[in-house]
């Protein structure tokens, strides 16, 4: 049997080749290939994916990033048609005809890839397939590195072959780690084979806020600060992975959201913790206010401290006159989260 020779390219040949650009379903956020979205159970991953699917099907921006309007297939393998419809009603007035759902599908040991390819053959403009969840379609014995890598590689080859983006919803382990990407459940065979990885991590002090960590071959490495409001996740700010400042502090983001609505707060630090629903001590919040005083001022917030009857009272005021909703300041512009349809 004749051996198959390896195909090689010289550096000069490679530089002269006309290669198609990487396809982005969501510009600078989600590229073609195999992607993993991991997070804790019940953290809101499915809400995020449904919103993503709707936005791509309509060609609307997602987290402030432009999308490529195209057909989308969402495999909601842990949901029912009733639940999907109820969520759709909360997210949009008009359901796009080019967004398709399936609540049952084969697994990777069976005909899942054939089922997906058959759908793409019928809908050639398909750009995005979401599998919710990965555990529902993987083989039963897939805990070791080789098994995990093989499972992901099957989907990765399908994505490359058809020039689409596949997003697999997955879970994170309960055990924490300094590197959020190390918390993805399973072996490193999953993260090693995937093109892009997204990890959702909620803020302990306020569960409505989370950080979405991004790392991949074709996307910038960054962290998005997101808030769950009106049934969808909204992006409040983008920063580098190493940044852990004001826009990544859940207590400060919760305070800004509150002041945008109420305009003023007066009371003790303990009262403020209770009002915002923060699970931190009042002295910790007081230190945060001092640490981020300049950032708060940039966001249009002025605050004073004074003693009244041996009690230290905080007064925080948000000024609309100096910082309108259409201002350039990122702290205010991004806090203006859209209302659901």
CATH number of the domain that residue 301 is part of? 1.10.10
Over residues 10-23, the mean pLDDT reads 90
25 domain-assigned: yes
Domain boundary at 188, 222, 242, which? 242
Enclosing H/E stretch for 26: strand 24-26
Question: 74 and 104 in contact (C-beta within 8 Å)?
Answer: no
pTM for this model (two decimals): 0.73
At 311-331, the pLDDT tens digits run 889 999 998 654 444 333 444
Question: 240 and 226 in contact (C-beta within 8 Å)?
Answer: no
Q: Verify that 259 and 187 share a domain, yes or no.
A: no
At 57-66, the pLDDT tens digits run 999 999 999 9
Percent of the chain topping pLDDT 70: 88
Domain boundary at 242, 265, 281, which? 242
Please state the domain count of the chain.
2
Range of the domain at 305: 250-333
Percent of the chain topping pLDDT 90: 59
341 domain-assigned: no
Question: 186 and 194 in contact (C-beta within 8 Å)?
Answer: no
Q: Is the torsion defined by CA of 233, 237, 241, 244 positive or negative?
A: negative
Euclidean distance between CA atoms 172 and 208, whole angstroms? 18
Q: Verify that 226 and 293 share a domain, yes or no.
A: no
CATH number of the domain that residue 95 is part of? 3.40.50.300
What is the per-residue pLDDT for 206?
58
If we measure between CA atoms, which residue out of 186, 185, 216 comes closest to residue 198?
A: 216
6 domain-assigned: no
Q: Verify that 261 and 202 share a domain, yes or no.
A: no
Q: Verify that 193 and 46 share a domain, yes or no.
A: yes
pLDDT at 243 over 80: no
pLDDT band at 239 (very low <50, low <70, confident <90, very high): confident
Question: 181 and 195 in contact (C-beta within 8 Å)?
Answer: no
Mean pLDDT of the chain: 87
Please report, for residues 130, 221, 232, the alpha-carbon distance to residue 92 in angstroms, rounded to integers and kept in the order given: 19, 30, 11
Pick the residue with more confidence: 69 or 186?
A: 69
What is the per-residue pLDDT for 325?
41
Question: 208 and 229 in contact (C-beta within 8 Å)?
Answer: yes
Over residues 12-28, the mean pLDDT reads 91
At 83-118, the pLDDT tens digits run 999 999 999 999 999 999 999 999 998 999 999 999
What is the per-residue pLDDT for 186?
86
What is the per-residue pLDDT for 241?
59
Domain boundary at 210, 242, 274, which? 242
Q: Verify that 95 and 51 share a domain, yes or no.
A: yes
What is the per-residue pLDDT for 149?
86
Mapping DSSP to helix (H, G, I), strand (E, B) and coil, where does residue 78 land? coil
Over residues 209-223, the mean pLDDT reads 91
Over residues 62-87, the mean pLDDT reads 97
Q: Verify that 195 and 328 share a domain, yes or no.
A: no
């Amino acid at each position: 049997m004749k051996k198959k020779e390896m195909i090689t390219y010289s550096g000069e040949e490679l530089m002269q080749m006309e290669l198609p650009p990487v396809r982005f379903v969501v510009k600078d956020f989600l590229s073609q290939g195999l992607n993993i979205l991991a997070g804790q159970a019940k953290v809101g991953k499915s809400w995020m994916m449904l919103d993503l699917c709707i936005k791509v099907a309509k060609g609307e921006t997602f987290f402030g990033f432009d999308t490529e309007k195209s057909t989308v297939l969402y495999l909601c393998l842990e949901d029912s048609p009733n639940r999907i419809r109820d969520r759709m009603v909360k997210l949009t007035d008009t359901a796009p005809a080019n967004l398709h759902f399936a609540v049952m599908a084969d697994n990777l040991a069976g005909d899942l890839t054939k089922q997906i390819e058959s759908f793409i053959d019928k809908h050639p403009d398909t750009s995005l397939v979401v599998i919710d969840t990965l555990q529902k379609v993987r083989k039963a014995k897939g805990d070791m590195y080789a098994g995990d890598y093989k499972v992901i590689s099957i989907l990765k080859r399908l994505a490359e072959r058809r020039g689409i983006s596949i997003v697999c919803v997955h879970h994170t382990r309960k055990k924490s780690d300094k590197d959020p990407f190390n918390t993805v459940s399973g072996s490193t065979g999953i993260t090693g084979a995937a093109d892009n990885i997204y990890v959702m991590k909620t803020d302990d002090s306020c569960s409505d806020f989370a950080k979405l960590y991004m790392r991949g071959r074709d996307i910038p490495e960054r962290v998005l600060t997101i808030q769950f409001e009106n049934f969808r996740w909204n992006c409040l700010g983008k920063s580098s992975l190493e940044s852990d400042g004001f826009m990544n502090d859940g207590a400060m983001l919760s305070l800004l959201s509150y002041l945008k609505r109420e305009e003023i707060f007066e009371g003790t630090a303990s009262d403020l913790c209770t009002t915002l629903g923060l699970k931190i001590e009042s002295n910790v919040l007081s230190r945060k206010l001092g640490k981020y005083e300049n950032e708060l001022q940039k966001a249009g917030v002025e605050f004073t401290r004074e003693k009244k009857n041996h009690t230290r009272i905080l007064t925080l005021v948000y000024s609309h006159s100096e910082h309108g909703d259409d201002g350039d300041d990122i702290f205010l512009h991004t806090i203006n989260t859209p209302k659901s349809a």
